[in-house]
Amino acid sequence: MDEAAYSTPDPYLRAVRSRLAPPEMLAEQGGLAFLQAYLQGRFLTPFSELTGCRIEAIDEQQGTVTMAMTMPATEWLCRFSRCVAPGAIASLANSCSLASGWLLVQPAQSFAGLAHSTSFFRAVPADGRLLRAEARGTIRGRGLANVDIDVYNADGQLAASAHAFAQLIDSSKRQKLTVSEVKRILATLLFTDIVGSTEHARRLGDGGRRAVLSQHHNAVRAEIARCEGTEVDTAGDGFFFVRFDSPARALDCARAAREAVKRLGIDIRAAYTLANARCKGGR
Q: Which residue has the higher pLDDT, 191 or 153?
A: 153
Predicted local distance difference test score (pLDDT) of residue 1: 45
Query: Does pLDDT of 22 surpass 80?
Result: yes
Query: Does pLDDT of 24 surpass 50?
Result: yes
Strand segments (E) across the chain: 54-61, 64-72, 109-120, 130-139, 144-152, 158-170, 182-194, 230-235, 239-244, 268-280
One domain, residues 123 and 209: no
In total, how many domains does the chain have?
2
pTM of the model: 0.57
User: What pLDDT band is residue 55 in, cutting at 50, 70 and 90?
Assistant: very high
Predicted local distance difference test score (pLDDT) of residue 126: 92
One domain, residues 94 and 233: no
One domain, residues 43 and 87: yes
Arithmetic mean of pLDDT over the chain: 83
CATH code of residue 17 = 3.10.129.10
One domain, residues 26 and 106: yes
Segment of 93-102, 120-129, 226-235 carrying the highest mean pLDDT: 120-129
Does residue 165 lie in a domain region?
A: yes
Chosen domain end from 113, 139, 173: 173
pLDDT tens digits for range 202-226: 787 877 888 888 888 889 999 999 9
One domain, residues 81 and 162: yes
One domain, residues 155 and 15: yes
Predicted local distance difference test score (pLDDT) of residue 51: 85
Crossing angle between the packed helical segments 86-104 and 31-39, to the nearest 10 degrees? 130
Chosen domain end from 149, 173, 197: 173
The three state secondary structure string of 131-198 is EEEEEEEEECHHHEEEEEEEEECCCCCEEEEEEEEEEEEEHHHCCCCCCCCEEEEEEEEEEEEECCHH
Does residue 275 lie in a domain region?
A: yes
Segment of 160-169, 191-200, 206-215 carrying the highest mean pLDDT: 160-169
Predicted local distance difference test score (pLDDT) of residue 282: 43
One domain, residues 189 and 165: no
CATH code of residue 201 = 3.30.70.1230
* Mean pLDDT, rounded, for 32-54: 87
One domain, residues 158 and 37: yes
One domain, residues 139 and 38: yes
Strand order in the sheet with 268-280: 230-235, 239-244, 182-194, 268-280
Chosen domain end from 173, 191, 206: 173
User: What pLDDT band is residue 129 in, cutting at 50, 70 and 90?
Assistant: very high
Does residue 73 lie in a domain region?
A: yes
Give the rounded percent of residues in the chain with a pLDDT score beyond 90: 25
One domain, residues 214 and 89: no
Query: Does pLDDT of 93 surpass 50?
Result: yes
One domain, residues 31 and 62: yes
Query: Does pLDDT of 49 surpass 90?
Result: no
Segment of 121-135, 187-201, 223-237 carrying the highest mean pLDDT: 121-135
Predicted local distance difference test score (pLDDT) of residue 110: 78
User: What pLDDT band is residue 276 in, cutting at 50, 70 and 90?
Assistant: low
What SS3 class is residue 233? Answer: strand
One domain, residues 186 and 91: no
Q: What is the span of the domain harbouring residue 151?
A: 11-173
